[in-house]
Structure 1
Amino acid sequence: MSASAHDLPEPDSGDNEATWPSAEGGDRRKRRFRRSIDQVMQQAEAFVASLEAVGDGVILLDSQSKVVFASNSVSTILREQGHYLSIEEDYLRFSEPSVAKKFAELLASIEREKPLLSHGGAFVVERRAPLPPLLLTVLPLSRQTPEDTLIARTMLILRDLSRIPVPQWQVFAQHFKLSGAETRLCLALADGLSLSDYSKKFHLSLHTSRTHIKSVFLKTETRRQADLLRLIFAFTRL
């Protein structure tokens, strides 16, 4: 039997009136919800902008692994490296089947929340020499949303190791007071050139290159190229 209007309890006066939801209260909750969504979006945009500043690309996937967002840097990297991976029909495609399989296994492992992978993972996309590989970091987002929603559930950070992160290199050079020639030498070493290769590429004598690297060692308080490279990567590779 359905209840009639006479069967419903009367609202009490005083404090008990708050137990009856009002349209005005509902509107306030909606406004608060919209504000919170706006704040989250602003924070997300700021985060993506920070990664864009160092040349990293951001891709967001939904629960079906479809691309729901790709930052500007992703478009730039894929335009230059489309032979190795691309976005087709809202899915990330790899040219090498073995890489595609590895990517699918990583996503599945994260979805199952295996202890070692519930926090994410990373792998490389090899390119033909002399290009360094692309680095793809996979990070899980919230797993509390329904499976059938289009809300982003996985974030990918795409890094092209051949792209120079300008802000970090500026900080590195300024912090150690390196000259232009010394900074250029550090860039070359970070790209894998030997001192001899660097000398030939920039038409310098080996003696001049050795003088530059001795000056860099002195300013950075390092003694070997291996120590210098570790310092360079600590500053320039996030």
Structure 2
Amino acid sequence: MKTTFVVADDHPLLLEGVKGVLREIEPDAEILQATSYPDLLSVLSQDIDFSLVIADLNMPGMAGLDGIRAVQSKRPEVPIIIISATESQKAINKTLECGVAGYMFKSFSQDQMLKAVETVLEGETFVPDANTEMFSGDEFADDRKTDFGAAALNKLPMGVVIVDKSAQVLFMNNNASDIFAQSDGVDVGPTGVFRTAKVGETKNLHTMIADAAIDIGEDEDREGGAMIVSRPSMRRSFSLLVVPLPDEDDISSDEGKVAVFINDPEKFNEPPTNVLARLYGLTEAEARLLQGLIVGKKLETFADEVGVSMNTVRSHLKQVFRKTGTNRQPELVSLVMNSSAYLASSPVAVEDDDYE
């Protein structure tokens, strides 16, 4: 079986240096490369048995430790070596706590890189000696609120991207990463800038972001915007909502961060039946019916799928209306989609109660 390595870095010289080390280990290996975090996710989406991933911690869109975790969740069986210019013990510890197989410094010589890669390929963890005089970067700050915030954003059913006034990506949640990996209308360019497939749409997006980021006066609030982004695949367009984020601690700053929410109409998120039952006091059958209505199923279709009569389905629907305080199906679906149930994209554990 042919050996396949992945190298992800946005610096051409370093990229070639790492590839040279890998060729010294396995001359006939296939080496795939990526220059941004979305590129890396796209490469890892291929049906290939990868032997090793070497990724730059701070390449465009990587979002530090959250990026590492997302890469690991995508291909947990593949060992990862992180390469970084940060040489502090805190940086090393924080990264290794994520479960990576090794940590290399960008200042490493070719021989040092060779040793690190060989160690990991032998099934061991490579831990370098830290530079005790160097402080770690902000991405390793002891701010648990940042971790909590990222975890919360990763639960949202839409893509969330945090950018600065120049549309430089500072953070993306898991859904945004998956959307960018498709390269179907929106992506992150080689320099880490959020862009679209069409020049005109990109210009419009960047204008919205700049307007949302810059404070235009003491009595004026920063404004966002909304737009539709077309897709080369001809699938239904993305809808983007640009929202200014609250100013940070530095109140003298006239620039802020901006959140861009990406909705993919092709993706349906079904709230788990146990969550629906818990929130609205539904029986299991009523919750299954509500789940079907949310993804657009007709009553007749649902009745055929579960093998019950239309009279039974209508009876269940009447009870769902009563328990949710609604009268029509559109009102019912809107209620759920604006509730906490819609945030549960995977089953959530609840106590086994009798929902009758």
Q: Return the alpha-carbon distance in structure 2 between the equivalents of residues 140 and 194 of structure 1.
A: 39
- Report percent identity of matched pairs: 26
What is residue 202 of structure 2 aligned with on the other side? 100
Contact 1:67 1:91 in 2 (8 A): yes
Cα offset for 1:50? 0.9
SS in 2 for 1:136: strand
Q: Return the alpha-carbon distance in structure 2 between the equivalents of residues 102 and 199 of structure 1.
A: 46
What is residue 178 of structure 1 aligned with on the other side? 282
Which residue identity does 1:83 align to in structure 2? D
Task: Please tell me whether residue 50 in structure 1 is matched to residue 152 in structure 2.
Answer: yes
What is residue 75 of structure 1 aligned with on the other side? 177
Contact 1:54 1:165 in 2 (8 A): no
What is residue 242 of structure 2 aligned with on the other side? 138
Q: Return the alpha-carbon distance in structure 1 between the equivalents of residues 314 and 289 of structure 2.
A: 10
Q: Return the alpha-carbon distance in structure 1 between the equivalents of residues 316 and 236 of structure 2.
A: 26
Among 159, 165, 189, the residue aligned to 1:63: 165
SS in 2 for 1:53: coil
Contact 2:213 2:258 in 1 (8 A): no
TM-score, reference length from structure 1? 0.62
Q: Return the alpha-carbon distance in structure 1 between the equivalents of residues 318 and 212 of structure 2.
A: 47
Cα offset for 1:52? 0.9
Which residue identity does 2:296 align to in structure 1? G
Deviates more, 1:134-143 or 1:225-234: 134-143
What is residue 110 of structure 1 aligned with on the other side? 212
Contact 2:160 2:259 in 1 (8 A): yes
**Which aligned pairs between 1:165-204 and structure 2 lie closer than 5 A?**
166=271, 170-200=274-304, 204=308
Cα offset for 1:107? 1.7
**Bigger Rg, structure 1 or 2:** 1
What is residue 156 of structure 1 aligned with on the other side? 260
Among 75, 83, 87, the residue aligned to 2:188: 87
Q: Return the alpha-carbon distance in structure 2 between the equivalents of residues 119 and 97 of structure 1.
A: 23
Deviates more, 1:110-119 or 1:225-234: 110-119
Contact 1:67 1:92 in 2 (8 A): yes
- Per-residue displacement from partner, 1:5-51 (whole Å, max 9, x unpaired)? xxxxxxxxxxxxxxxxxxxxxxxxxxxxx99x946x42232122112
Among 192, 214, 218, the residue aligned to 2:318: 214
Contact 2:321 2:332 in 1 (8 A): yes
SS in 2 for 1:173: helix
Contact 2:229 2:240 in 1 (8 A): yes
Which residue identity does 2:144 align to in structure 1? Q
Q: Note the aligned Cα RMSD (angstroms).
A: 3.9
TM-score, reference length from structure 2? 0.44
SS in 2 for 1:192: coil
Unaligned runs of 5+ in 1: 1-33
Contact 1:54 1:166 in 2 (8 A): no
What is residue 15 of structure 1 aligned with on the other side? none
Cα offset for 1:133? 5.4
Q: Return the alpha-carbon distance in structure 1 between the equivalents of residues 326 and 275 of structure 2.
A: 18
Higher helix share: 1
